[in-house]
Structure 1
Amino acid sequence: MKILLPTSTAGSLPKPSWLAEPEKIWSPWKLEDQELKDGKLDALRLSLQEQVQAGIHIVSDGEQTRQHFVTTFIEHLSGVDFEKRETVKIRNRYEASVPTVVGQVSRPKPVFVEDAKFLRQQTKQPIKWALPGPMTMIDTLYDHHYKSREKLAWEFAKILNQEARELEAAGVDIIQFDEPAFNVFFDEVNDWGVATLERAIEGLKCETAVHICYGYGIKANTDWKKTLGSEWRQYEATFPKLQQSNIDIVSLECHNSQVPMDLIELIRGKKVMVGAIDVATHTIETPEEVADTLRKALQFVDADKLYPCTNCGMAPLPREVAQGKLNALTAGAQIVRDELLA
């Protein structure tokens, strides 16, 4: 039986304190060698258990085996030099020291496939796996080789497609591409961003999603959000193109954001992961607050296409806060599910 309003998370969940320093992105590992390998899988199992206990329907690895949603994937590619670093502005927002593209990029071997197989063995529930999108990948690097954002994005799209096909073969039900850069570089999104995303999903039979958020609850992002004014209409620039694309699901930020709900109308026909949990605060939503966000979204997306979700990843939050938020998400979704089925 197909569940109405299936819940999921945008991606990352807090790591246990024995694996990495908590409440941090890019947190260094506390273990090494075989202990680290085992520890990552233990954390993945734990994260899955916490999602299941909270009642999440579409579960993930909680990104327990990776330090960061973009760089961990890039670390496994050839053509990128992590020793040779340059300072760039990420998403026109904050400066970061990033690795350099020094030659032809390629994927010598699968990156997350073994982890995905491990997750598949642990559960019969639908599983979702997140990969960085091509545009967000190029925005997290200094390109000394291709000298063209678009050219590098097409190369990454090809590599992502190789990975995605193997993840699908490993039993992943939904492959999600994280594209926060879609909320910044509108001309590029429409010129080639959506096209490179479609190249990344070429030939896939499983469902595909694109997650477009306003970023983790870190200071650089929250400061940026304060400059966006009373209405965040960024989605308006990219949704028409996404609506015409082959992507199945669009994941967006709704709760506590200034995004006008009616923008969802622009992707009518797509499934929508509605962010009903604010990841930029330690305050745990009440189930009623979650329900209220979902009710508003239901004016613009059909109930059978609405997937209650979090606004973004929750890696920087304390574990008990993230757990409380997951509980609130499922409880809020249940309120609305009961109303729809009444």
Structure 2
Amino acid sequence: MNKLLPTSTAGSLPKPSWLAEPEKLWSPWKLEGEALREGKRDALRLSLHEQQHAGIDIVSDGEQTRQHFVTTFIEHLDGVDFSKRETVRIRDRYDASVPTVVGSVARQKSVFVEDAIYLRQLTDQPIKWALPGPMTMIDTLYDAHYKSREKLAWEFAKILNQEAKELEAAGVDIIQFDEPAFNVFFDELNDWGVATLERAIEGLKCETAVHICYGYGIKANTDWKKTLGSEWRQYEEAFPKLQKSKIDMISLECQNSHVPMDLIELIRGKKVMLGAIDVATNTVETPEEVASTLRKALQFVDADKLYPCTNCGMAPLSRELARGKLRALSTGAEIVRQEVLG
């Protein structure tokens, strides 16, 4: 990407109301069979158009073909029984009914590659594709087979690597691994979390990113944030290890958060996808607010390594709100781009 301060989204964008119930996470599909397949493709095309219309530089599928950023990937794997559900505590924060690992996990065929090929045919812009990271995958399941979070994470890392290599071959420019669990399980992160992530990117020539955020704007997450005090320093645990890792880009949440901006200093040398749009509010940022966040970040990261982004996915928001926020991101980035270029 030759453009300075290229904009992108962290992942999901709202789905059209004819495809799934709007403003809801894990929303069930309203279509089925061939109509659903066609509807997902239409939504992907629409999502791309909305990103382009808003001036987003690095586009994605908006996760239109996924019900959930983790489980939709897991659904396609052997060894996981979705009819056998257990309640587990996710991210140490809230209880959810999740599928059970009942045998060896394996991937028989690609999960998102067809969608990526389709998106690649629709645009010449750089494409970013999000996959769940190994640690976040194991945190969204009940494991009755391996009985070891680490063992299961290594298995998932191998599977993710297979998928990532096929996505790269399909023309994806940046593969992003979503690891909100990195903000919670610090011992595991340092023991094997970053190592399994590096296994997932092994042999890739495209750019790789890890997205670590404080979650969607759902009540369980916003309540948790209220307990974190005046400074959110969770990134301090992950950044030193990630700075030494082979990951190219690190995505973090900054807009309306209590993350001290100087923590970016800990990942000096990496590209930084900076969350300059808050996804947990129904207020659309002004371009100047976005610009202000980016200017603060530029004290700690070189302009050629700064990638303005959203804090997290926007699936639970209305489409109109998401549109406004994307436009604010693009316009705010353009203000700072002009300042830097002089």
Task: Indicate the TM-score class for this superposition, using the shorter chain for normalisation.
Answer: over 0.9
SS at match of 1:101: strand
C-alpha distance in 2 between matches for 1:119 and 1:217: 27
In the other structure, the counterpart of 1:332 is 332
C-alpha distance in 2 between matches for 1:54 and 1:81: 40
**Percent of pairs identical after alignment?**
85
SS at match of 1:288: helix
- The alpha carbon displacement at 1:88 in A equals 0.3
- The alpha carbon displacement at 1:250 in A equals 0.1
Q: Deviations over 1:69-95 (max 9, x none)?
A: 000000000000000000000010000
Q: Deviations over 1:197-236 (max 9, x none)?
A: 0000000000000000000000000000000000000000
- The alpha carbon displacement at 1:137 in A equals 0.1
Q: Deviations over 1:14-51 (max 9, x none)?
A: 00000000001100000000000000000000000000
Q: Deviations over 1:105-143 (max 9, x none)?
A: 000110000000000000000000000000000000000
Indicate whether 1:296 and 2:263 are aligned: no
In the other structure, the counterpart of 2:256 is 256
C-alpha distance in 2 between matches for 1:257 and 1:56: 23
SS at match of 1:81: strand
In the other structure, the counterpart of 2:152 is 152
C-alpha distance in 1 between matches for 2:21 and 2:295: 37
C-alpha distance in 2 between matches for 1:318 and 1:281: 11
C-alpha distance in 1 between matches for 2:222 and 2:301: 28
- The alpha carbon displacement at 1:300 in A equals 0.5
**What aligned pairs does 1:195-210 form with structure 2 within 5 A after superposition?**
195-210=195-210
C-alpha distance in 2 between matches for 1:41 and 1:153: 31
C-alpha distance in 1 between matches for 2:199 and 2:174: 16
- The alpha carbon displacement at 1:11 in A equals 0.2
C-alpha distance in 2 between matches for 1:97 and 1:255: 31
In the other structure, the counterpart of 1:242 is 242
SS at match of 2:176: strand
In the other structure, the counterpart of 1:34 is 34
- In structure 2, give the amino acid aligned to 1:273: M
In the other structure, the counterpart of 1:76 is 76
Runs of 5+ consecutive residues of structure 2 not aligned to the other structure: none
**What aligned pairs does 1:223-234 form with structure 2 within 5 A after superposition?**
223-234=223-234
In the other structure, the counterpart of 1:45 is 45
Runs of 5+ consecutive residues of structure 1 not aligned to the other structure: none
Runs of 4+ off more than 4 Å:
none
- In structure 2, give the amino acid aligned to 1:328: A
- The alpha carbon displacement at 1:241 in A equals 0.1
Indicate whether 1:272 and 2:262 are aligned: no
C-alpha distance in 2 between matches for 1:57 and 1:135: 29
C-alpha distance in 1 between matches for 2:299 and 2:194: 26
- The alpha carbon displacement at 1:152 in A equals 0.2
**What aligned pairs does 1:15-164 form with structure 2 within 5 A after superposition?**
15-164=15-164
C-alpha distance in 2 between matches for 1:305 and 1:4: 8
SS at match of 2:52: helix
Q: Deviations over 1:211-269 (max 9, x none)?
A: 00000000000000000000000000110000000000000000000000000000000
RMSD across aligned C-alpha pairs, in angstroms?
0.5
In the other structure, the counterpart of 2:314 is 314
User: TM-score scaled by structure 2?
Assistant: 1.00
- In structure 2, give the amino acid aligned to 1:220: A
C-alpha distance in 1 between matches for 2:30 and 2:260: 42
